[in-house]
């Protein structure tokens, strides 16, 4: 490499639509240039329809249409499919949602909300940017679902339609009831404070008796929705817990709520006091705010996917030698279907074509495509690479091997894993017992002296000991930990996952796509001269075969020359004449051979490439946890991996998805708390079985199997940091508990003497709640900074 | 002092009004998408035909 191939600073022409470099000379103009025909078409379409504003809001907002495949949406007009797909229709106007993963900027929103200018049948369209969805209402007589989907596809927003869209009954909506409860509680709490204020300022029971009692009765009235609407969940949960013999955290809260309300009602009705309604309102309001804070939702990430989210909605069925897009639910055993390059096989079947190369990495994790001969059985979930193949189905989709695997026991909802915070419940249990003992002791001490005072002190103990601090500490601290983690691009499902991670003793890694890059790195063995490099580059770029594309990428920077006599032998290789030399790139014994004029010059092989920082990560983890490797792949480099994992016995290759699951089960039976880190469908069983299942993904919008958390590859690099952060965050909770204990001791010292007044309660209870909230939030931020957790990786995802 | 009764009634009405407004906001889905409206408001609505 002596001569520089490219003249430096050569101005690159940017595509007016997508901003990619333009290489095709015929598409480069003086005002607009395009990288491909597709971009040009969209640009012109938008110009013609008065939508040029699209290009003013953001610079080159489009996405390259080079890689866009043709897609048929005719199946959407099938009455059965349509009925399941639309949200609503009355025969005239229909409403429908499309998931458009390509939505990425303000221009996208603008264009998609002006769709009516491209299709008059569309009445209105609204974008939900965070969910990457567009909600459309359209006139049934003027347009159809397939036309709309086709239009979206044409302008560069191919809708992602999968089987789960059809089979899910209701669209997932955020729980509105919590918002309603928060609203009502805020309203009631505010008004109670309003009514209680005169008493704080010295409204006298004797002189202003009328107002005093009026305010009391109004407070009582406001207290009713507090207990029977806002606080009802706590009472119910405590009751259910008691019936099952559990003392959960909601029990002492319920005792607090009931004694606050009971004592207040008694005081107000007997006209002996002002009651504690203000404290009750504050307590429930804080609890609900905590609940809301804890519910961090990542709109574009779903943690509950099954195989249906991976499968397309339709397949190409042959009917009288004509291809007909047919809904997957309608496919029957015996049907002939066509599967094209990179398409998923939807159901088990027998190969009718001569041969196929099936990539089962989805199912097994084995990365190399398997060659299959005519007459062999193909399993659902495989991906054809190469020419289109014909398959005769032997089973329906629902009965296929992969789907069966999914329906087995371990894929059922893990109820034990979804239990409420275990730490809080454990604390709540001892708390309840302690409080009951103290209140009983107080009652017994005062009874012989003064009955009225005994009841007074007894209820005061129950009121002041209400563990709002314990109940608030976890929602606010871990809720904030979730946010901090989200900023470093690790997204956990909920706060319970944090507690599970803290208990983990054994971490199991998948290999391909998790420890290693999904794309294997290309390596060249042999010698090529500069001219030969140019020639191989020029030839490889002619073909769309994945390996040719890889070679083209590998040799980037070489000079593109004219290729004559190009020939492509499917499944074998490509050849062509460049500068008088006959070059052949094709399958050889060791890898992809390069022949120049019939002479072998070397071959391209591939080797898995470890992700950045993995060596240090594994080294660190080995000192803290048991770790092991679980892969569906063959062990191609035993020495390398056993050095990483500290022994051959930690390595488990050739595991089918089911064996992976069983391995996790075995570890758990031996008493380990297992975290599984995987990436694909082949890990789905193991991810579900493990106490914590984390998925590593290059792009968050990619589909990932059901799991407890999604890590971006960037955040995976600081995996030890993340684990450390999660583990240490429990100290913030412990410190909060210590604080809460101090408050309780102060409060109880008043209460047992029968000296608790509503004003003291109204000061002490919110004060303890507020300080716990502040401590939890600031503590978790401080910890993140101390551990140098990188939380600045986010630009676009801030808004998630 | 009796005027306080009237004041309480009025303040209660106003507060109820806000509560109803909040309910309406939740019902109409304003809390389901907290981002897109912030972008949408910046678009010019004038239609430029070429």
Query: Minimal CA–CA distance to A542: which of A577, A492, A594, A579?
Result: A577
Query: Minimal CA–CA distance to A393: which of A339, A430, A474?
Result: A339
Calculate the CA A473 to chain-centre distance: 25
Using DSSP, state whether A674 is helix, strand or coil.
Answer: strand
d(CA A359, CA A361) in angstroms, rounded, equals: 6
Question: What's the CA dihedral at A254, A255, A261, A262 to 10 degrees?
Answer: 140
DSSP A14: B
d(CA A49, CA B47) in angstroms, rounded, equals: 10
Closest to A110 (Cβ–Cβ): which among B19, B27, B43?
Answer: B43
Paired tokens of A142: 């003027």
Please, how many CA atoms are within 13 Å of residue A273, restricted to the half-sphere of its CB?
14
- The complex's ipTM works out to 0.89
The per-residue pLDDT for A167 is: 59
Task: Determine contact, residues A764/A468, Cβ cutoff 8 Å.
Answer: no
The DSSP element (H or E) to which A337 belongs, if any, is strand A336-339
DSSP A608: -
Using DSSP, state whether A88 is helix, strand or coil.
Answer: strand
Mean pLDDT of chain A: 80
d(CA A779, CA A15) in angstroms, rounded, equals: 48
Query: Minimal CA–CA distance to A657: which of A411, A451, A492?
Result: A411
d(CA A2, CA A163) in angstroms, rounded, equals: 54
List residues of A whose CB lies inside 8 A of any B CB.
47-48, 50, 52-53, 57, 106, 109-110, 113, 126-131, 173-174, 176, 179-180, 183-184, 187, 190-191, 194, 211, 218, 799
Rounded to the nearest 5°, which phi and psi values hold at A370? -100, 135
Query: Minimal CA–CA distance to A404: which of A31, A694, A685, A70?
Result: A685
Rounded to the nearest 5°, which phi and psi values hold at A784? -60, -40
d(CA A180, CA B20) in angstroms, rounded, equals: 10
Segments of chain A with pLDDT less than 50: 1-9, 170-172, 409, 411, 413-419, 793-800
Q: Do B19 and A183 touch (CB under 8 A)?
A: yes
State the smallest CA–CA distance between residue B12 and chain A in angstroms.
8
Using DSSP, state whether A182 is helix, strand or coil.
Answer: helix
Question: Whole-model pTM?
Answer: 0.77
β partners of residue A576: A583
Closest to A130 (Cβ–Cβ): which among B8, B18, B33?
Answer: B33
DSSP A707: -
β partners of residue A521: A607
d(CA A584, CA A606) in angstroms, rounded, equals: 19
Paired tokens of A71: 């897609």
The per-residue pLDDT for A795 is: 40
The per-residue pLDDT for A366 is: 60
């Amino acid at each position: 490499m002596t001569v520089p191939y490219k003249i430096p600073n050569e101005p690159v022409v940017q595509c007016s639509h997508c901003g990619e470099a333009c290489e095709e000379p015929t598409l480069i103009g003086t005002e607009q240039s395009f990288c491909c025909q597709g971009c040009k078409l969209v640009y012109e379409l938008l110009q013609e329809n008065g939508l040029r504003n699209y290009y003013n809001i953001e610079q080159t907002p489009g996405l390259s249409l080079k890689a866009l495949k043709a897609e048929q949406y005719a199946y959407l007009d099938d009455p059965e499919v349509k009925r399941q797909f639309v949200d609503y229709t009355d025969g005239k106007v229909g409403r429908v949602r499309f998931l458009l993963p390509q939505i990425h900027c303000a221009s996208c929103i603008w264009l998609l909300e002006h769709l009516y200018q491209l299709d008059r049948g569309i009445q209105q369209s609204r974008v939900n940017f965070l969910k990457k969805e567009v909600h459309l209402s359209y006139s049934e007589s003027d347009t159809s679902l397939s036309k709309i989907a086709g239009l979206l596809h044409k302008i560069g927003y191919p809708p992602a339609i999968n089987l789960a869209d059809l089979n899910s009954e209701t669209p997932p909506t955020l729980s509105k009831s919590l918002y309603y409860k928060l609203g009502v509680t805020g309203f009631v709490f505010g008004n109670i404070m309003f009514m209680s204020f005169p008493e704080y300022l010295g409204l006298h029971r004797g002189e202003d008796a009328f107002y005093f009692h009026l305010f009391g009765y109004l407070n009582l009235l406001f207290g009713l929705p507090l207990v029977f609407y806002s606080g009802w969940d706590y009472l119910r949960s405590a009751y259910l817990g008691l019936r099952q013999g559990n003392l959960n955290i909601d029990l002492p809260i319920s005792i607090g709520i009931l004694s606050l309300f009971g004592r207040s009602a008694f005081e107000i009705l007997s006209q002996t006091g002002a009651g504690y309604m203000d404290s009750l309102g504050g307590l429930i309001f804080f609890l609900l705010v905590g609940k809301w804070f804890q519910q961090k939702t990542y709109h574009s990430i779903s943690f509950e996917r099954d195989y249906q989210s991976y499968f397309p909605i339709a397949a190409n069925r042959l009917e009288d030698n004509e291809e007909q897009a047919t809904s997957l639910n309608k496919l029957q055993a015996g049907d002939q279907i066509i599967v094209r390059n990179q398409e998923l096989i939807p159901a088990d079947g027998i190969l009718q074509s001569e041969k196929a190369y099936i990539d089962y990495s989805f199912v097994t994790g084995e990365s190399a495509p398997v060659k299959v001969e005519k007459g062999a059985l193909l399993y659902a979930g495989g991906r054809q690479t190469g020419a289109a193949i014909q398959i005769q189905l032997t089973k329906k989709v629902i009965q296929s091997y992969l789907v069966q695997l999914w329906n087995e026991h371990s894929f059922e909802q893990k109820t034990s894993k979804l239990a409420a915070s275990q730490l809080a419940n454990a604390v709540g249990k001892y708390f309840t017992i302690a409080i009951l003992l103290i209140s009983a002791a107080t009652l017994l001490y005062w009874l012989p002296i003064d009955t009225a005072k005994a009841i007074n002190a007894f209820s005061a103990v129950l009121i002041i000991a209400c563990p709002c601090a314990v109940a608030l500490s976890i929602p606010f601290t871990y809720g904030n930990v979730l946010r901090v983690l989200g900023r470093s691009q690790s997204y956990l499902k909920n706060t319970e996952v944090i507690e599970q991670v803290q208990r983990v003793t054994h971490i199991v890694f998948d290999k391909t796509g998790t420890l290693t890059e999904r794309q294997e790195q290309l390596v060249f063995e042999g010698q090529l001269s500069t001219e030969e490099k140019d020639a191989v580059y020029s030839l490889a770029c002619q073909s769309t075969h994945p390996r040719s594309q890889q070679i083209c990428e590998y040799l980037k920077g070489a000079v593109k020359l004219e290729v004559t006599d190009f020939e492509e032998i499917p499944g074998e290789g490509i050849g062509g004449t460049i500068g008088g030399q006959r070059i052949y790139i094709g399958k050889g014994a060791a890898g992809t051979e390069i022949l120049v004029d019939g002479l072998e010059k070397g071959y391209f092989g591939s080797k898995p490439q470890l992700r950045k920082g993995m060596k240090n990560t594994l080294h660190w983890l080995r000192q803290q946890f048991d770790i092991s490797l679980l892969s569906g792949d063959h062990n191609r480099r035993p020495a390398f991996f056993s050095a990483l994992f500290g022994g051959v016995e930690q390595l488990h290759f050739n595991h089918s998805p089911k064996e992976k699951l069983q391995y996790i089960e075995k570890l758990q039976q031996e008493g380990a708390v297992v975290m599984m880190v995987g990436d694909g469908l082949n890990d789905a069983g193991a991810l579900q079985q493990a106490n914590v299942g984390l998925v590593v993904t290059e792009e968050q919008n990619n589909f990932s199997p059901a799991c407890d958390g999604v890590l971006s590859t960037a955040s995976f690099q600081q995996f030890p940091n993340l684990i450390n952060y999660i583990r240490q965050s429990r100290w913030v909770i412990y410190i909060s508990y210590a604080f809460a204990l101090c408050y309780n001791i102060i409060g109880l010292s008043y209460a047992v003497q029968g000296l608790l007044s509503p004003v003291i309660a109204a000061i002490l209870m919110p004060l303890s709640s507020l300080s716990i909230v502040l401590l939890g939030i600031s503590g978790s931020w401080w910890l993140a900074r101390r551990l140098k957790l990188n939380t600045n990786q986010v630009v676009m995802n801030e808004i998630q | 002092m009796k005027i306080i009764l009237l004041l309480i009634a009025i303040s209660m009405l106003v507060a109820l009004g806000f509560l109803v407004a909040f309910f309406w906001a939740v019902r109409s889905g304003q809390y389901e998408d907290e981002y897109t409206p912030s972008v949408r408001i910046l678009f010019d609505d004038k239609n430029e035909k070429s």
